[in-house]
Amino acid sequence: MGNKKVTPFPQGFLWGGALAANQVEGGWNKGGKGLSVQDVQAYKPHVDQKNLAAHVKVSLPQLLEAAKETDDTYFPKRRGVDFYHRYPQDLALFAEMGFQVLRVSISWPRLYPTGMETQPNPEGIAFYHRLFQEMRKRGIKPLITLAHYEMPLALALEWNGWTDRRVIDLFVRFCETCYKEYGQYTDLWLSFNEIDSCIRHPFTTAGIIPELCGEEGELGACYQALHHQFVAAAMVTKMLREMVPGAKMGCMLTKLTTYPRTCAPDDMIATQARELENLSYADIMVFGEYPRLILRRIEKKGITIRMEPEDEGILREGTVDYVSFSYYMSMTESVDPNAERTPGNTVLGVKNPYLESSEWGWQVDPVGLRYSLVELYDRYKKPLFIVENGLGARDTLEADGSIHDPYRIEYFRRHFEEMAKAIDDGVELIGFTSWGPIDIISASSNQMSKRYGFIYVDQDDLGKGSLERYRKDSFYWYKKVIETNGADLD
Ligand code: BGP
């Protein structure tokens, strides 16, 4: 046998990367596309990561003003990294790394510019056919996300987004078109990206605008919008099985793994509440019903969700086939009001003294990924798919065109080692797509400078640069990992 390394990853394990249309495509007004809620997300040079609520806040006048703006300088998601035109070159680079799968989202307003049309936009339909055919040519399977924070802006401005039950039928129409057109390219689908994120950023996740919320207030509007998304997700899950035989639908959770800051029982109770809240969003989509504890917690907040009699049956008949999630970091929870807090993925957690932080304050915790995989598999007993994981960092393009990112290689090496342990623990893990395999616009900060890619893109936060692509050192490392199916992590 010599020193041939034996891989712990199963045969057929899917290695690749994950993107979102609104962060990578650009072409915000090309091919008949309508405005999405992301096209009015302004870049702010100084983001206070500890005051996220202020950062994600929107106001109707500001949105109407932004919608009239035709320039993209301060609207980075209007330009992404021009994947809309450069996808053949980028797919060639992904294929060079050996990608078996690429997660992408379909931009709803590219197919239905305001979301209210009864017929789809032919140019939008054609774009994704070209993209998926190019992927097929490269032997890369699409993993399609139907809703990745990019709903038509018109639905937000006119109906206050997902708070309006009529959006369910419009979303079902959009998904029916996607299945009819693109069901031929893949059997892997996801409905809502991080469906739990509605509470953390109501506008980008659900098109909720404070001035349009009624007496139920913004939090009540969030829970009503969430209910409509759960119903819509269940409906399009059932429809997928009918329209694309053999296709698999997953749910997608922001896995915000939280440990108690101390073994004090009160810290445990506070942690348990945070963990159950986070898991409840996947519970509803896996088990097909609201957990009683969650209903009680919503009731204690004084919130009443308007549900129709048919909703219970819809949820029960639309449960998912697999569980996918994003994992970047972990945090702790404490009842100590003076406990130091640090930012995470659009959350604020109590700092863990045993962990290092990224430049954006996210606490890097590879062992937490093993913990999360075991926790999720034990709870759901469904195949798991890690659809986002990665390190946002400031990379440097050297004069010779190289980029040295040993910190990113180290981040992934440690996370892959823990994934291997989880598989050895008995977890059924079917795939891994790194977040942002090419540098793209950050979701929470709209920065280009928060780079995740194995491929560097020459563009700065205000859109200046050649948009040329450069292979980072991690590009060659990930290529070798995929070639050896995870056996060689050196
Ligand atoms: C997740 C989103 C992704 C991605 C990721 C990284 O919540 O699903 O869209 O952006 O976060 O976050 P950021 O881009 O803010 O660093």
Contact 222/198 with Cβ under 8 angstroms?
A: yes
Whether pLDDT at 120 is above 70:
yes
Q: Which of 239, 255, 258 has the alpha carbon at shortest distance from 247? A: 239
Give the CA-trace dihedral at 236, 241, 245, 251, to 10 degrees: 70
Query: pLDDT band at 384, cuts 50/70/90?
Result: very high
Residue with the nearest Cα to atom 7 of ligand 1?
345
Per residue in 177-220, pLDDT tens? Answer: 999 999 999 999 999 999 999 999 999 999 999 999 999 999 99
Per residue in 437-467, pLDDT tens? Answer: 999 999 999 999 999 999 999 999 999 999 9
Q: Is 365 a pocket residue for ligand 1 (Cβ < 6 Å)? A: no
Q: Which of 472, 398, 480, 478 has the alpha carbon at shortest distance from 439? A: 472
Integer CA distances (angstroms), 5 to 1, 65, 415, in order? 9, 58, 18
Query: pLDDT band at 381, cuts 50/70/90?
Result: very high
pLDDT for res 151: 98
Per residue in 98-119, pLDDT tens? Answer: 999 999 999 999 999 999 999 9
Whether pLDDT at 70 is above 60:
yes
Q: Which of 183, 155, 193, 182 has the alpha carbon at shortest distance from 171? A: 155
Residue 444 Cα, ligand 1 centroid: separation in angstroms? 6
Pick from 47-51, 54-58, 73-77 the range whose average pLDDT is largest: 73-77
Strand partners, 465: none
Q: For residues 360 and 370, give the distance between their C-alpha atoms in angstroms, rounded to a whole number.
A: 23
Query: pLDDT band at 230, cuts 50/70/90?
Result: very high
Query: pLDDT band at 318, cuts 50/70/90?
Result: very high
pLDDT for res 55: 79
Question: Whole-model pTM?
Answer: 0.97
Amino acid at residue number 446 = N
pLDDT for res 1: 46
Question: What mean pLDDT is reported for the chain?
Answer: 96
Tell me the average pLDDT across 399-415: 98
Whether pLDDT at 228 is above 80:
yes
Q: Is 21 a pocket residue for ligand 1 (Cβ < 6 Å)? A: no
Exposure class string for 407-436: b at 16+ Cβ within 10 A, else e: ebbebbbbbbbbbbbbbeeebebbbbbbbb
Length of the chain: 490
Per residue in 244-270, pLDDT tens? Answer: 999 999 999 999 999 999 999 999 999
Burial, 214: exposed, middle or buried (Cβ in 10 Å; 0-12, 13-18, 19+)? exposed
Q: Is 205 a pocket residue for ligand 1 (Cβ < 6 Å)? A: no
Integer CA distances (angstroms), 258 to 118, 197, 333, 377, 394, in order? 44, 16, 7, 17, 26
pLDDT for res 401: 97
Beta strands in 300-383 (DSSP E): 322-326, 331-333, 341-343, 348-350, 356-357, 363-364
Q: For residues 264 and 266, give the distance between their C-alpha atoms in angstroms, rounded to a whole number.
A: 5
pLDDT for res 3: 58
Q: For residues 401 and 304, give the distance between their C-alpha atoms in angstroms, rounded to a whole number.
A: 57
Residue 150 is among the residues annotated as catalytic for this protein: no
Residue 418 is among the residues annotated as catalytic for this protein: no
pLDDT for res 4: 67
